[in-house]
């Protein structure tokens, strides 16, 4: 969105997270997470339940307000702006503008049940980007085709399988042409036989050069798709590095333990 | 009882046109106060879920007072109090009809506000979050995502409210509105035929509310198959 950001792009990460902290009451869920993601990079986040992975993703698009720390996308602060040396929160309208650039794929899809598959994909381009219906539908059909669901454009979500619903949810995000896509365990609410079709779509996006942050328990998938893997535990990044190193030659005992636990499952 | 057919045969040609004329007023009050109630209800429900605490508190009090008072009391207050409070103003426009519509509308607004609020809150918070994550402002997510879904959820209780409202219009007879009960009373006592007239009135009320009831059921069926 900010042209200034694009100009300075070459060297600077697309996503920069600085010392992010999040507390729910007394519970410290994120205890200072810092992370850079380059344009076109795929980063997978793994870690035990309750380690703060979802919370981290939700902070990135400000569905959750961080308790401390800052997030930048393309050099633009997310959720706040600087006034002098103070940070002030954005208005709802400004925040909504920033969120257009960040796609979020939820574990439970969260499709809009009152809209068809095509309606789900076109509602934001029409109502947020103010595209005409024709333009939005053309774009929406392209996106549905991309996820292999052209033939389901007129179905309502309740008549789609979980895997199909999740693919519509991905198409819905793609239709906004986000700079960054966040996936929160996109396959863990699915029956095992439906996981493959969603991973296939995600893999294709990765190959096309999308910038993706993926929370997942699919170790095989993470190793194939991501450039980098991050292991989180108790609100901290415990280990990070190239995916094959973290996944197959972890340095930290906790990482090894977690990976072993997941493989035994 | 046995002489009823006889009584109707002799009088119905006089009573029915008159009662039907009065029942038009009943329908008019019902219709307009329903509109007022829905508008109030939506506004108050939106206030009720507002982030602003003062707005929320005001909405809660509106709801509590509106549904805590008997309709008759609200009607009396709305109709008789403002002219007494501001005697200097011109109140000729403020007819018993206006008072009836406002009184029923305010009471209904309080009832419907709670219905709408529960409809809004019944939606999983994921719906709102999905809308916001696509770049919608809270207002847009309300208009395009939340309210269309809430409408389906609240349709049955709103329909029931409408049927109840049609019957409650009879209370407006107490502030002197010439609706069907008022008309019936005057006919019944001038012709000394309360039984025959009031049974006829019951029939007319039923003839108005039953189609409404069918309509609500049909709408519900259509909405439930539409998805
Ligand atoms: N809105 C909230 N209010 C209070 N506590 C919360 C809230 N959201 C998350 N938590 C807590 O924060 C911690 C981290 O939750 P989070 O959902 O980020 O974990 P996770 O790593 O995504 O786990 P999982 O693998 O089970 O999805 C948990 O202890 C959770 O109970
Ligand atoms: Mg999670």
Alpha helices per DSSP H over chain B: 4-48, 53-68, 71-85, 96-122, 125-133, 138-140, 147-168, 180-190, 194-225
Predicted pLDDT at B225: 61
- Pairing state between β A27-37 and A15-24: antiparallel
Pocket of ligand 1 (CB under 6 A): A 24, 27, 29, 47, 49-55
DSSP per residue, A118-163: HHHHHHHHHHTS---HHHHHHHHHHHHHHTT-GGGTT--GGGS-HH
Tell me which residue of A51, A48, A50, A20 sits closest to A36, measured CA to CA: A20
Q: Where are the domains positioned within chain B?
A: 4-226
pLDDT one-digit tens code per residue, B215-227: 988 888 877 665 4
Q: What distance in Å separates the CA atoms of residue A257 and residue A261, rounded to the nearest whole number?
A: 6
- Give the ipTM of the model, two decimals please: 0.91
- Which residue owns the Cα nearest ligand 1 atom 18? A52
pTM for this prediction: 0.82
pLDDT one-digit tens code per residue, B38-48: 999 999 999 99
Nearest CB to A97 within list B130, B135, B227: B135
3-state secondary structure of B192: coil
**Ligand 1 geometric centre to CA of B70 (Å):** 47
Predicted pLDDT at A139: 97
Q: E strand or H helix at A205, and its extent? A: helix A192-207
User: Are A99 and B126 inside 8 Å of each other by CB?
Assistant: no
Query: A246 vs A24, A52, A249, A256, A263, CA distance in Å?
Result: 30, 19, 6, 9, 15
pLDDT in tens, chain B (227 residues): 668 889 998 888 999 999 999 999 999 999 999 999 999 999 999 999 898 999 999 999 999 999 899 999 999 999 999 988 988 888 888 899 999 999 999 999 999 999 999 888 888 789 999 999 999 999 999 999 998 998 888 988 999 999 999 999 999 999 989 999 999 999 999 989 899 999 999 999 999 999 999 998 888 887 766 54
Residues facing A43 on adjacent strands: A213, A228
CATH value of B4-226 in 1.10.3720.10, 3.40.350.10, 1.20.140.90, 1.10.1200.10 = 1.10.3720.10
Mean pLDDT by 10 residues, chain A (265 residues): 46 93 96 96 96 97 95 94 90 95 95 96 97 97 97 96 97 97 96 94 96 95 95 96 94 94 80
Q: What distance in Å separates the CA atoms of residue A222 and residue A206, rounded to the nearest whole number?
A: 11
**Ligand 2 geometric centre to CA of A56 (Å):** 9
> Rounded to a whole number, what is the distance in Å from the CA of B149 to chain A's nearest CA?
6
Q: Which atom of ligand 1 is nearest to the CA of A47?
A: 21
Q: Using an 8 Å CB-CB cutoff, list residues of chain B that contact chain A.
A: 124, 126-127, 129-140, 144-145, 148-149, 152, 227
Q: Which atom of ligand 1 is nearest to the CA of A58?
A: 18
Q: What is the largest CA-CA distance in chain B?
A: 72
Predicted pLDDT at B19: 92
- The bound ligand whose nearest atom lies closest to the alpha carbon of A50 is 1
């Amino acid at each position: 969105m900010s042209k200034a950001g694009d100009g300075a792009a070459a060297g600077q990460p697309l996503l920069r997270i600085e010392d992010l902290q999040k507390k729910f009451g007394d519970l410290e869920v994120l205890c200072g997470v810092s992370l850079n993601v380059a344009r076109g990079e795929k980063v997978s986040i793994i870690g035990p339940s309750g380690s703060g992975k979802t919370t981290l993703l939700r902070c990135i698009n400000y569905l959750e307000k961080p308790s401390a720390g800052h997030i930048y996308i393309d050099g633009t602060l997310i959720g706040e702006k600087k006034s002098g040396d103070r940070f002030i929160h954005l208005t709802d309208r400004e925040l909504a503008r920033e969120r257009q650039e960040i796609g979020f794929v939820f574990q439970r899809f969260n499709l809009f049940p009152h809209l068809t598959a095509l309606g789900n994909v076109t509602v934001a381009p029409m109502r947020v980007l103010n595209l005409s219906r024709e333009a939005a539908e053309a774009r929406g059909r392209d996106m549905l085709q991309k996820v292999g669901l052209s033939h389901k454009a007129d179905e309502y979500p309740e008549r789609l399988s979980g895997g199909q619903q999740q693919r519509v949810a991905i198409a819905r995000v793609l239709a906004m042409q986000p700079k960054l896509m966040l996936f929160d365990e996109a396959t863990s609410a699915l029956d095992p036989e439906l996981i493959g079709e969603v991973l296939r779509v995600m893999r294709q996006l990765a190959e096309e050069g999308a910038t993706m942050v993926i929370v997942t328990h699919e170790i095989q998938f993470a190793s194939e798709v991501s450039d980098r893997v991050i292991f989180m535990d108790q609100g901290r990044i415990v280990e990070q590095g190239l995916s094959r190193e973290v996944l197959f030659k972890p340095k930290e005992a906790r990482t090894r333990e977690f990976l072993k636990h997941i493989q035994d499952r | 009882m046995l002489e009823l057919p006889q009584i109707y045969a002799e009088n119905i040609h006089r009573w029915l046109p008159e009662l039907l004329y009065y029942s038009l007023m009943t329908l008019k009050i019902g219709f307009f106060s329903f509109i007022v109630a829905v508008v109030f209800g939506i506004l108050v429900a939106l206030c009720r879920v507002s982030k602003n605490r003062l707005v929320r508190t005001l909405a809660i009090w509106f709801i509590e007072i509106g549904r805590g008072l008997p309709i008759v009391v609200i009607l009396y207050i709305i109709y008789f109090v403002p002219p007494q409070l501001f005697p200097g103003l011109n109140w000729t426009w403020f007819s018993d009809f206006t008072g009836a519509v406002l009184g029923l509308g305010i009471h209904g607004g309080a009832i419907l506000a709670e219905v709408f609020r529960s409809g809004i809150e019944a939606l999983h918070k994921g719906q709102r979050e999905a809308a916001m994550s696509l770049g919608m402002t809270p207002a847009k997510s309300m208009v395009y995502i939340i309210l269309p879904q809430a409408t389906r959820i609240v349709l049955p209780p709103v329909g029931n409210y409408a049927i109840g409202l049609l019957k409650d219009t009879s209370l407006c007879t107490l502030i002197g509105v010439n609706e069907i009960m008022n008309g019936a009373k005057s006919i019944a006592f001038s012709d000394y035929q309360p039984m025959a007239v009031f049974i006829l009135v019951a029939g007319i009320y039923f003839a108005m509310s039953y189609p409404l009831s069918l309509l609500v059921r049909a709408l519900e069926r259509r909405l439930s198959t539409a998805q």
